[in-house]
Amino acid sequence: MRLLLMLLLCVPGLVLAQGPAGDPRDNLDHPGSPTDRYLDAAEIRDVMHATNDAFYGCYRTHVRGTKEAGEVAVRFTVTREGTVTDAAAEMDGAPPSLGPCLVDVLSALQFASHDGDPVQVSYPLVYQVDRKGARVLPYPVVFTKPRRVRLPLLVLPATISAGELAMLERILVDPDERIDADRRELDQAPDEPAAVPTESAEGDAPAPEAPAER
């Protein structure tokens, strides 16, 4: 421990030059690397909650005086740069003029940049009118399309044996495909005849041994 402290004190430049290992904002050329950064659903939810006032501004302008605004949800795509594309409003019962206003609000949003594929998002807007007034309630979750994580290429040593390579393929292959392959091997294996136990004439008692000749 004392030797480690002395090393850190003597070569601080070396430690600072390395920087934090695995910076989550590293943008590498190998998707799926442990240092890649993916956009989390909680980050999207926080941005949407912070935009509630702008959403309410659309309702106040286009749905004011209406107790029922119908069911409204917005959907959009977040690019790798964090900008919004393909914004749209899905409405059932709300005035048609509400849709373009919501799309303008969505198009102005900015999310954090990330290294993954574009994220497709769907978010319900809950408009409530009661004795306290009208407001847009923050929905607790956002709905995103599941993404497929692409793993980086594996660098195999040149000395790997055929058996080790076959075992690695079995580990990395899809579990369902591996199970099907094992079943096919069992079906193709030749059936071995079962061993039949021999019995003596007197049942389970062993046959007496013949006396040795002298």
pLDDT at position 20, please? 36
pLDDT at position 195, please? 57
Alpha-carbon distance values, 85 to 80, 111, 158 (Å): 11, 12, 46
pLDDT at position 44, please? 94
pLDDT at position 13, please? 39
What whole-number distance in Å separates Cα of residue 173 and Cα of residue 40? 27
pTM over 0.75: no
Tens of pLDDT along the chain (214 residues)? 444 344 334 434 333 333 333 444 444 444 445 567 788 889 999 999 999 999 999 999 988 766 567 889 999 999 999 999 999 999 988 888 999 999 999 999 999 998 888 999 999 999 887 777 788 899 988 888 766 655 556 677 888 888 887 877 777 666 566 666 666 776 776 655 555 555 555 555 555 565 555 5
What whole-number distance in Å separates Cα of residue 101 and Cα of residue 210? 107
HSE (side-chain half, CA atoms, 13 Å) at 138: 12
Kindly list the domain boundaries of the chain, sorted by start residue.
41-144
pLDDT at position 39, please? 86
pLDDT at position 105, please? 97
pLDDT at position 110, please? 95
pLDDT at position 101, please? 95
